[in-house]
Structure 1
Amino acid sequence: MKTLIKFSSLLFIVILNQACKENHSETLPYDDIVQKSAKQYAKMHQTIYPEINNKKFIPRTINDKGQPTLVGIYDWTSGFYAGSLWYLNFLTADSKWEKPALEYTKKLDSIQYWGGNHDVGFIIECSYGNALKKTVSKAFDSVIVQTAKSLATRFHPKAGIIQSWNASKKWNCPVIIDNMMNLELLFHATKISGDSTYYDIAVSHADKTLENHFRPDNSSYHVLNYDVETGDILNRNTHQGLADDSAWARGQAWGLYGFTVCYRETKKPNYLKQAIKIADYIKNHPNLPNDKIPYWDYNASATNETPRDASAAAITASALYELSSFMGVEGEKYENFADKIMLSLSSPNYFADKATNANFLLKHSVGSIPHGVEIDVPLNYADYYFLEALYRHKNINQ
């Protein structure tokens, strides 16, 4: 009998191990990819640092000649480079990254007073927000709170939403799914200041987005045009997707990430439920390629010529790791999905060879195909969310 029990136990372990191997057929080469990332960015820093006192000094992408395209602080992507330097500091535990991370972060100081765009959340939370993970600083706290005040000026109480872009001939009050990413800054500001105003604005915006932005299949529209007095939806459109009724890949990732953050900060079950629905939409989409790196739009033609979007994949992976941490055993399938995405992004198909790609990490991202810009190029936010995903992978496995 004892022999039978031992055999049964051994058989169970063998079956369990086999199941684990099937779920994790490959292991993410964490140490190797961190080392490669650090070497790439060390070269990038060496190349672009001489420009730091110029108006344009932050690497965003590359030009037609393969040279880095630099932008100034009011570009919506200006916080990602500083954020990537912070994540390299966290990932490598090498203090050499802290000085440049601080320097590029402090260069964004004046953004805290800018109310001209909703993207201040991207800019400041990715830079100063990450700096505060490393440094206790009342000055940095003040930047977060002041930026939240500036962002709050774009809130329309009657409609319950934060306006994304300024009014134009096309839209009265456009609100884009990307705006979910700026709510983290508002939650952070309430934690620092104790002023619930910012928290309440974030929750209001998230509730209205949940109510109005999603289709029955849990894909999201890109742009909603609001009447700020009544809260009525005047139009549902796209700006960077294939069509008004299509599922722009990066937009789906923004929604997944944003509602995961909202659940983290509020513990409201409806936000977790929505994040899971979006994750399942992405995970089970029939047009998702086998390597789990989406085409630029989930409704785009599935051909070898159709551009992929590594930035959407990196954002998705980072969000999935955090989502999985809220779900216990049920979260394992989302962690496994994130692992598969990261394995692809870490492969030579997407991760650049040493000293190529203008020293950006990832190849094959898409900015905006309808506008004919940044197609099949590296993008600084693809790198940022890739490094963040590595950081979250590390924390989960610890």
Structure 2
Amino acid sequence: MKFFRKTIYTLFISLVFTGCFSIKKDESTINVDKVLDLSVIKTKETLKQLKDFDSFPRNIPTGEKEWECVGVTDWCSGFWPGVLWYAYEYSGDETIKKAAEKFTLPIKQIGYTPALDHDIGFQVYCSYGNAYRLTGNEEYKQVLLAAADTLATLYNPVVGSIHSWPMKPQYPHNTIIDNMMNLELLFWAAKNGGEKRLYDIAESHAEVTMKNLVRPDYTTFHLGSFDTKTGAFIKGVAHQGYADNSMWARGQTWGIYGFSFAYRETKREDFLNTAIHLADKYLERLPEDGIPYWDFDDPRIPNAPKDASAAAVAACGMLELAGLVKDDELKDKYYRAAKRFINMLSTDAYLSNENNQALLLHSTGHHPKNSEIDVPIIYADYYYLEALLRLKKWKA
């Protein structure tokens, strides 16, 4: 039966992508609506294969067609509901909305159980945050507020940042660059009925990250280790990057996006300047096609794997940044960069087409652990759809 489903799925997608929706590699500017139409069709078809609402797509192993799924507590659980909410936002399709509601509901437990790690923002804000934004349902709002309070329990006032991976004893207190993205939940909650301390925690975390995880050359450490008794910075390490002094692509883009909205919420010029410098460093070192290798310093380049997820996050971050900078030249620079990334991701070189259920190919998860290398990963699809919707609104 599974073989039959795969055969039918492959035939359907092949017909779609070899017809009017196919995007050719030589197109310099995509039709955003066309790509979003394609994405909605594919998302609806994928939904037919997903029956367990507490099981969430994460990656598609090499040679496979269908998503491998994970449970609610996996850090990636919120991205699939987020994909559905974005697809609904564009299409208005009630079938997708109902599915989004069903896949969102199980994540509620994250807000009401002790925090296992810092990824509550990814899990809850991508799912419930989009759900509340699009529906105004007060039940969604209450889950978001509870989740923000839960995330705040990981804050260490001595260090001034949120503790990443509290269940892992390798470091006394560690904070990773990814954690910048989880601050949006805290900023939102502080403006929507939560305590002001949530804002203070988010601002402090961003400041500690800026001062310690951002290097003088505006590349970033993945992880910073701190002394819990004094708050002193001990060292920065790669963890998911090639080396402790290398430029891990996705980490750089988490920083671009995270410091951009940190400026949006706080109006602190040092946060804006950090986002600008991180973005400029990223653009300076990009390969010709605009899609980064998983780490800019992997000595195997050009034979190292790419990371489409980093390109998708970069597109979102630079559109955010373009909307915040006051200088017209900078605004145009970051807008054009983001559009270039989206254009490239929307070609046959990176679109999955009939290959499998995902939207994008060629992402890299945890290269040092040989995990999720050059495969579709769900957060690439999430940020790709976000980037497309942002670009569409920018043009409107």
Deviation of residue 375 (structure 1)?
0.3
Q: Is the 8 A contact 1:320 1:338 kept in 2?
A: yes
- The size of the alignment, in residue pairs, is 366
Deviation of residue 214 (structure 1)?
1.1
CA distance in 1, matches of 2:36, 2:60: 22
Give the alignment of 1:225-236 within 5 angstroms.
Answer: 225-236=225-236
State the match for 2:390 in structure 1: 392
Q: Alpha carbons of 1:125 and 1:340: their partners in 2 closer, same or farther (altered >3 Å)?
A: same
State the match for 1:380 in structure 2: 378
CA distance in 2, matches of 1:168, 1:336: 41
Asked if 1:314 corresponds to 2:334, the answer is no
* TM-score, with length taken from structure 1: 0.89
Amino acid at match of 1:51: D
CA distance in 2, matches of 1:382, 1:63: 15
State the match for 1:8 in structure 2: none
Specify the structure having the higher radius of gyration (Cα): 1
Amino acid at match of 1:185: L
CA distance in 2, matches of 1:304, 1:349: 16
Deviation of residue 64 (structure 1)?
4.5
CA distance in 2, matches of 1:312, 1:168: 25
Give the secondary-structure state (helix, strand or coil) at the position aligned to 2:68. strand
CA distance in 2, matches of 1:135, 1:32: 25
CA distance in 2, matches of 1:190, 1:133: 16
Give the secondary-structure state (helix, strand or coil) at the position aligned to 2:373. strand
Per-residue CA deviations over 1:280-303 (Å, capped at 9, x if unaligned) read 000111xx2111100000111363
CA distance in 1, matches of 2:135, 2:388: 21
Per-residue CA deviations over 1:127-180 (Å, capped at 9, x if unaligned) read 010011111122211111111111111101111110011264531111100010
* TM-score, with length taken from structure 2: 0.90
Q: Is the 8 A contact 2:256 2:317 kept in 1?
A: yes
Single out whichever of 158-167 and 181-190 deviates more from structure 2. Answer: 158-167
CA distance in 2, matches of 1:169, 1:325: 40
CA distance in 1, matches of 2:256, 2:236: 19
Deviation of residue 98 (structure 1)?
1.1
Give the alignment of 1:361-376 within 5 angstroms.
Answer: 361-376=359-374
State the match for 1:51 in structure 2: 52
State the match for 2:70 in structure 1: 71
Q: Is the 8 A contact 2:117 2:167 kept in 1?
A: no
Q: Is the 8 A contact 2:88 2:97 kept in 1?
A: yes
Give the alignment of 1:117-136 within 5 angstroms.
Answer: 117-136=117-136
CA distance in 1, matches of 2:252, 2:302: 22
Amino acid at match of 2:186: L
Asked if 1:97 corresponds to 2:99, the answer is no
Q: Is the 8 A contact 1:318 1:385 kept in 2?
A: yes
Tell me which of 39, 54, 67 is aligned to 2:41: 39
Single out whichever of 129-138 and 168-177 deviates more from structure 2. Answer: 168-177
Per-residue CA deviations over 1:276-335 (Å, capped at 9, x if unaligned) read 1111000111xx211110000011136342100000000000111111011242301100
Identity %: 40
Asked if 1:325 corresponds to 2:320, the answer is no
Deviation of residue 93 (structure 1)?
3.0
Q: Alpha carbons of 1:81 and 1:393: their partners in 2 closer, same or farther (altered >3 Å)?
A: same
Deviation of residue 194 (structure 1)?
4.8
